[in-house]
Amino acid sequence: MAQAEKVLVTGGAGYIGSHVCKALAEAGYEPVVYDNLSSGYADFALWGTFIHGDILDTGKLLEAIREHEPAGLIHFAACIEVGESVKAPGRFYRNNVGGTLSVLEAMRLSGLRDLVVSGSCAVYGAPESVPIPEHAPLRPVSPYGASKAMMERLLDDFEAAHGLHTAVMRYFNASGADPEGRIGERHVPETHLIPRVFMAAAGEIPGLALFGDDYPTPDGTCLRDYIHVNDLASAHILALEKLRRGARNLKINLGTGRGYSVLEIVAKSREITGKNIPCTLMPRRPGDSPALVGKVERAAGDLGWTAAFSSLENILGTAWNWFVRDRERREFHLRRAPSIRA
């Protein structure tokens, strides 16, 4: 039997990276996970090979590329919390910009050509209107968004100078989980809406803090474009395959083109969980844009991609299933802890 082609995945033990590794394995590739486990989890690295490494270590990346001879690289490893980026911008620029530079240098030195990266709608900042097309100006309003915009610039320059082929996937709100419940969203601390809604449903927090209800939106709460992580995964593989066929410099929004308000998410979550979800109105969260919804026709046209998993029912249903299972796992570890210590 022919050996499976390998794909190197930085940050492959994280939320989105692990779902991409699962999809790669299902598509017949062998993922090679490269992760320093600073925010990823060893129990998410379930497919392919695992290398414990930091993206800032160009030598180790180069070694991984030379040893495994991957067909391409998908780069996720990055800092992701917008609020944190305001408080500690240095870490964001070091990991997201310096880290991407290190990945690009390793690719240049090894001759590896094709690169798909995890981008963000945060590069658009607070746009005047939605849906946002890819040609909208990049005016990030947070260090996180700025680091992702800088990353895009690095890719453009390396592509022009060194012949790399690159694709940037600009995600809207990644959400949902593996339908089998093996991997999902697990951030510490958790700040994202859907997991916070579930924490309120499960009684882990007294209620959801609702950050503002006076936005210029239909119900006054912010609108976001929620995209299922499995749909993100399939888009990365399609993009990599398109680069391998010769495409270059792709910039692609990944969303559904439809926005849901915070209150709509809460209402649907009450239905799906069958739980009461108390909400407390709080002031607006600094840096929140009233509406972020993507124009997503390019992904369909250029990649032949559809957001097949991204109905709100499926997003919330798979996320809740994961939340409940992961909670059992956490409690199991907590119960075991005393006997381990004894």
Report the interface residues with ligand UDP, using CB under 6 A: 82, 173, 191-193, 196, 208-211, 222, 224, 262, 285, 288
Across the strands, what pairs with 118? 169
Burial of 288 (0-12, 13-18, 19+ CB in 10 A): middle
Q: Among candidates 258, 277, 285, 280, which has minimal Cα distance to 323? A: 277
Tell me if residue 144 is catalytic. yes
The token pair at 148 is 């992702």
Q: How far is the CB of 175 from ligand UDP (least distance, A)?
A: 8
- Catalytic, out of 29, 34, 93, 144: 144
For CA atoms 47, 51, 53, 56, give the dihedral sign: negative
Question: Which C-beta is closer to ligand UDP: that of 109 or that of 205?
Answer: 205
- Euclidean distance between CA atoms 185 and 232, whole angstroms: 14
Query: Under DSSP, is residue 211 helix (H, G, I), strand (E, B) or coil?
Result: strand
Question: Which C-beta is closer to ligand UDP: that of 89 or that of 207?
Answer: 207
Question: Which C-beta is closer to ligand UDP: that of 217 or that of 314?
Answer: 217
Question: Which C-beta is closer to ligand UDP: that of 197 or that of 235?
Answer: 197
Question: Which C-beta is closer to ligand UDP: that of 173 or that of 273?
Answer: 173
Q: How far is the CB of 290 from ligand UDP (least distance, A)?
A: 8
Q: How far is the CB of 5 from ligand UDP (least distance, A)?
A: 33
Q: How far is the CB of 184 from ligand UDP (least distance, A)?
A: 15
- Euclidean distance between CA atoms 149 and 170, whole angstroms: 10
Residue nearest to ligand UDP (CB): 222
Specify the pairing of strand 279-282 against strand 6-10.
unpaired
Question: Which C-beta is closer to ligand UDP: that of 101 or that of 209?
Answer: 209
Q: How far is the CB of 120 from ligand UDP (least distance, A)?
A: 8
Packed helices 143-162 and 99-110: angle between N→C axes, nearest 10 degrees: 20
The residue count of the chain comes to 342
Q: How far is the CB of 161 from ligand UDP (least distance, A)?
A: 33
The three-state (H, E, C) secondary structure of 113-170, written as one string: CEEEEEEEHHHHCCCCCCCECCCCCCCCCCHHHHHHHHHHHHHHHHHHHHCCEEEEEE
For CA atoms 138, 56, 178, 197, give the dihedral sign: negative
| Catalytic residue IDs | 144
